[in-house]
Amino acid sequence: MKRLFLLAIVFTVVLSACDKNKDYLVIIHTEFGDMKAILYDETPLHKKNFIALAKEGKYDSTQWHRIIKDFMVQGGDIYAKDDTREPEGARIPAEINEKFQHTKGALAAARQGDQVNPEKMSSSSQFYIVDGRVFSEAELTTDQMKLNQSISMMLQNPEYDSLKQLFMDLQQQGNYAGMNELALECKGYVEQELSVNLNKEVDPRMVETYTKIAGAPHLDKEYTVFGRVVEGLDIIDKLADVKVGPGDRPVKPTYMSVELEMVPKKEITKNYGYEYPAED
């Protein structure tokens, strides 16, 4: 009897060691193809929650309910399937880690705004995947809000009616990217005319990243990034291209399902280039 007990202990230890050497690969099925993602050990609450929901099949048949091209695709509202709302007590404490940026493919938790959620707590199920775009250094280092306010002030003067007309034409065309470019072109002139400084201090790492890689830099340090798409980035583009209506909701519903596959960590590193954090 004692021998059987010892064998059981040895088996349990061996099994635990095997589990430590493996991790879940998340497979997100869409009508356009599959995305594969890993979840970060550095965000244990979010990782554990996502895995539990996926194991229970909660994400299956949920919609990508908010899509903004060049920004992100959002889904995973498990409560919408039953036409209910997320209980406030179900939210997850923020696990914001500055080393995880909102580059293309970043998987992050959706949340309510700061006004009602100053602790930046995450939704218990909704997540988004960054589509993003590449930014210029001028965009990243300019106080856009202050620039826009300064230009609005200038355009009240009839002297700038021709410039005002340029902005109005772009607005009527729905060319907001063009409006942004025009505002940046005016930056030096605005600073000179109004004697204002429109620069802002930013982390050099942000400039280094987002001038080369597509992303959504304004979300950094505001939302919990808890994983990354390691295969199928083109699927994000296909989702981002769907036609949307009011509230950025797809006109034709598009659904997901989520599958988990236990894979050796060495294989994940070899196949997808993800390096696991060193264990203490």
The full set of domain ranges for the chain reads 24-133+209-267, 143-194
Mean pLDDT of the chain: 92
Measured between its terminal Cα atoms, the distance across the chain in Å is 36
Least confident among 21-25, 85-89, 137-141, 193-197: 85-89
Least confident among 68-72, 80-84, 133-137: 80-84
**pLDDT for residue 75 is more than 80:** yes
**Which pTM does this prediction carry?**
0.87
CA dihedral 26, 214, 71, 216 (to 10 degrees): 90
24-133+209-267: CATH, from 3.90.440.10, 2.10.109.10, 2.40.100.10, 1.10.10.10: 2.40.100.10
CA distance 244 to 225: 25
pLDDT of residue 278: 81
Q: Is the dihedral of CA 50, 51, 53, 57 positive or negative?
A: positive
**271 CB neighbour count, 10 Å cutoff:** 13
